[in-house]
């Protein structure tokens, strides 16, 4: 997947793959050196939330990365705090890059019911078993930004059922046509014809 991603690493905020090679039957990847991930940043700050001035630059860079990926029909499918790395926090505060394309897939590879994304960042359409696109990354971005501000998961991480309950509590129940289209909807909702 990384060899398919031919994006400008600076303009797209995506990690730069320098080369890949085989060594003793293993594929090795050489990336640019980055500083630390966002979980480490929070740990360095004793899990004190980022301020409202510190979050927008991260948001803008993540959105730029996802727009670039959408342009080549790639779904990252694994956005979480440890897959966003600071370039150099001392010299370029809050300059980040998106990393870890191990679960990334092309739009054409999506099948209905495919489970992707870590549970704490999983989009409702994935949970319900709906067809999805790279737009699921926006749920991940929202969850990452909320976690930086709240220092906890926005919708929890326990079980999918609990996560869906939390999504409904915060955002409301999905529309009926959405629920009817989901192949896993009956795990979370019961039809009430009245």
Per-residue pLDDT of the chain (194 residues; tens, 9 = 90+): 766 777 777 889 999 988 889 999 998 989 999 999 999 999 999 999 999 999 999 999 999 999 999 999 999 999 999 999 999 999 999 999 999 999 999 999 999 999 999 999 999 999 999 999 999 999 999 999 999 999 999 998 889 999 999 999 999 999 999 999 999 999 999 987 76
What are the domain boundaries of the chain? 34-187
pTM score, whole prediction: 0.91
- Strand pairing class (26-31; 17-23): antiparallel
pLDDT digits (tens, 9 = 90+) for 45-89: 999 999 999 999 999 999 999 999 999 999 999 999 999 999 999
Q: Which of 78, 82, 100, 169 is catalytic?
A: 78
Query: Which residues on neighbouring strands pair with residue 98, listed in sequence order?
Result: 14, 84
Rounded CA separation 99/17 (Å): 10
Query: What is the spatial distance between Cα 50 and Cα 147, in angstroms, rounded to a whole number?
Result: 9
User: Annotated catalytic, 82?
Assistant: no
CA distances 174 to 16, 133, 165, Å, are 38, 18, 11
Question: Homologous superfamily of 34-187 in CATH?
Answer: Transferase(Phosphotransferase) domain 1 (1.10.510.10)
């Amino acid at each position: 997947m990384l060899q398919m991603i031919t994006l400008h690493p600076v303009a797209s905020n995506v990690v730069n793959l320098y080369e890949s090679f085989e060594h003793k039957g293993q594929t090795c990847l050489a990336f640019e050196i980055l500083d630390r991930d966002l979980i480490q940043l929070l740990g360095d700050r004793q899990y004190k939330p980022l301020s409202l001035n510190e979050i927008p630059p991260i948001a803008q860079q993540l959105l730029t990365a996802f727009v670039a990926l959408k342009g080549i029909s790639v779904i990252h499918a694994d956005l979480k705090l440890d897959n966003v790395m600071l370039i150099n926090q001392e010299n370029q505060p809050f300059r980040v890059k998106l990393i870890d394309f191990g679960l990334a897939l092309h739009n054409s590879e999506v099948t209905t019911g495919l489970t992707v994304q870590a549970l704490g960042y999983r989009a409702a359409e994935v949970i319900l078993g709906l067809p999805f696109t790279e737009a699921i990354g926006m749920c991940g971005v929202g969850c990452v930004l909320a976690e930086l501000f709240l220092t906890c998961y926005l919708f929890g991480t326990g079980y999918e059922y609990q996560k869906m309950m939390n999504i409904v509590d915060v955002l409301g129940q999905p529309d009926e046509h959405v629920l009817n289209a989901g192949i896993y909807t009956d795990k979370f909702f019961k039809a009430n014809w009245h």
